[in-house]
Amino acid sequence: MFMILLFINAFTTIRPAQVNKKTTYNTTLIRYTTKLLDTILLNQDKKLRPQSDDGSPLVVEIDILIRSMGPISEQNMEFSLDCYFRQKWLDKRLAFNQAYSSKPEIPLASKMLKDIWDLSVLKVYFKLQRQQGYYVLQIYTPCTLLVVMSWVSFWINKEASPARVALGIMTVLSMSTLGFGLRTDLPKVSHHTALDIYILSCFGFVFCAMIEYAVINYAQIVYIRKQIHDLQGLDSNAAMGNINIFTAGLISARKNTLQLVQNIGIVDKLMFQFSGRR
């Protein structure tokens, strides 16, 4: 192969004394170069690998030059790569034979082999790593603050239904929009990830904080209706006599219910704070 390049270089260095500017190529150079390449590639079969004299395996040198990488599509898990993939080996069949002559063909017996050689595999590993700061600021921190905001309803008076209901609905909708909306920008995989578990856990805490007030309020309404139902069917004297008892019962029930709500609120505070620390 070196002799071919030297032969071509010899033709390229020969230039006439005066060259017309409009002439781009030398016809003589083109003719000899074409004839040389046709002669070398005449008997070459691209389907057969180059043979060595001692029967040793063919050594192929491979190198990769990466020019650029990107853009990276995290949702589709794809990226673009611009590189040069080069291979180099020695093929003695392409050597230029100056003393060209006819060579006789000698048939030889062929032997079938099961394993001709051990295949070599080229492996390239690209280690890609996500930036954690984006997910901490865009997903983890807002979800944590929404869970803490849902705990505020435990300190609001139980009789302030509009405030507690509005706060619960707002936190649930915000968690749904934030947690499940940002999930669309991530890769769609069949298995669950740590981010999915964290978002579902935060959504569960926010939803339970809203359900807690509904359960306590419903229990109080059922108790009051039961007391009113017990007073129905009595005469006026008995009813007037039981007004004080009913009033005292309502006050006692109010105190018991308030104490129950306070106890449940304390348990909820401790449970949510403990789960938040974990």
User: Can you give 82-109 as a three-state secondary structure string?
Assistant: EEEEEEECCCHHHCCCCCCCCCCCCCCC
| 176 and 203 Cβ atoms separated by less than 8 Å | yes
pLDDT in tens, 67-109: 888 777 776 777 888 888 888 888 777 766 665 555 556 565 5
> Which residue stretches of the chain have pLDDT < 50?
1-19, 21-22, 239
The position carrying tokens 């004839």 is 35
Q: Letter for the amino acid at 251? A: I
Domain 137-277 has CATH 2.40.50.140: no
> What proportions of the chain, in percent to the nearest 5, are helix, strand and coil?
55, 10, 35
Determine how many CB atoms are found less than 10 A away from the CB of residue 68: 8
Determine how many CB atoms are found less than 10 A away from the CB of residue 59: 10
Token couple for 202: 């935060």
Distance of CA 240 to the CA centre of its chain: 73
Tell me the whole-structure pTM to 2 decimals. 0.44
Q: What pLDDT, on the 0 to 100 scale, is given for residue 270?
A: 59
Domain positions in the chain: 2-94, 137-277
pLDDT in tens, 108-128: 556 665 666 666 777 788 787
